[in-house]
Structure 1
């Protein structure tokens, strides 16, 4: 019996761990689709936001029980972007992600409800929060665990949100419509405005 248990444990611990799958190839936007007047261009192996409001979404498949990693840098204190998660369908316009999914914010100058790592206006970014200055790289990991979303910024947990928990009242038209989001959904990146430029050098998932 002891021999059997030992062999079983050895087999389990020898299984290879999940590895990161790159969704951005560093060359072009193959596998991604843009909606809205803004655009993402590829510059020196990085995605760069340009122009007005837009949403670049990954067309390959929706994701569930996945960790999404983005490595980004801003060009100013109020450089604004975001990572969209839990989109029930492929978006038809740039506002679809705001009102039908969740936006994990990128904006170092916002308050705790609207700064990097917050689920925009729904769940605040707190904990040991620290975003690197403009021009330096940051790593954000977003764990999708069933109805739970957990956000890490530069290795520190800054947010945990569970579907159905209490959220602040909606105060402005541009804030997301309150309501449930699916466990499985598409992901995307936001291009916010012409004055904001944000670079992404990695977008990857671990399922």
Structure 2
């Protein structure tokens, strides 16, 4: 199943154009969601404002094209209140199991309040962001992650480097898939667009 039936909702807007050097993985249209698959419970819905909104969980909406390093995932997102989500990178084909991304990839966390290793910009449970830099870069509304996967994993938040993992597990960065987390019933995060550069 691609995304829950809510994806059929009409969205009032033209497809977003990619930034220079990028291609769109999600451009605000239902058509761009054809290459995405939902694993696990919950879903994402396409809103009338052409955004993906998380619902329930814990699940994973993953893009079904394998990426080879180096690559960059650019995701523009906003959280409602103190919600939780994340962008997963470097995991093998997930099928219907969101745990594949958790145990065999890395999650770049979206969460306003938690211990440093589990807050926005962290590589969840692996490495905290540079908290002072992250706090200066983080906005109340829309934010953009640029997550570059190569020999290192570099996380930029609104253009500011907030995390660099120098010696990542080679199996998690050699190439793989990426996806978006829908964490739970009380966690609402929206994605405006998702782009990739290879």
Aligned residues: 174
* Structure 2: gaps of 5 or more residues: 1-19
Q: Identify unmatched segments of 5+ residues in structure 1.
A: 1-17, 166-178
C-alpha separation in 1, matches of 2:68 and 2:62? 12
1:27, 1:195 → 2: CA distance? 25
The structure 1 segments of at least 4 consecutive aligned residues displaced by more than 6 Å after TM superposition are none
- Quick check: which one's strand share is greater? 2
**Which residue does the alignment assign to 1:39?**
43
TM-score by length of 1: 0.79
Pair 1:157 & 2:161 matched? yes
Per the alignment, residue 185 of structure 1 pairs with 176
- Structure 1 residue aligned with 2:71, among 41, 66, 73? 66
Structure with more helix by fraction: 2
Match of 2:7 in 1: none
1:86 counterpart = 2:86: no
Match of 1:23 among 14, 22, 25: 25
Range with greater deviation from structure 2 (191-200 or 89-98):
89-98
Alignment of 1:1-207 (within 5 A): 19-28=21-30, 29-43=33-47, 44-76=49-81, 78-126=82-130, 128-130=133-135, 131-133=138-140, 136-145=141-150, 147-164=151-168, 180-207=171-198
Structure with max Cα Rg: 1
Measure, in 1, the Cα distance between the counterparts of 2:180 and 2:108. Answer: 10
- Aligned-residue RMSD, C-alpha: 1.9
Q: TM-score, normalised by structure 2?
A: 0.82
SS of 1:96 mapped into structure 2: helix
Distance 1:163 1:109, change over 3 A: same
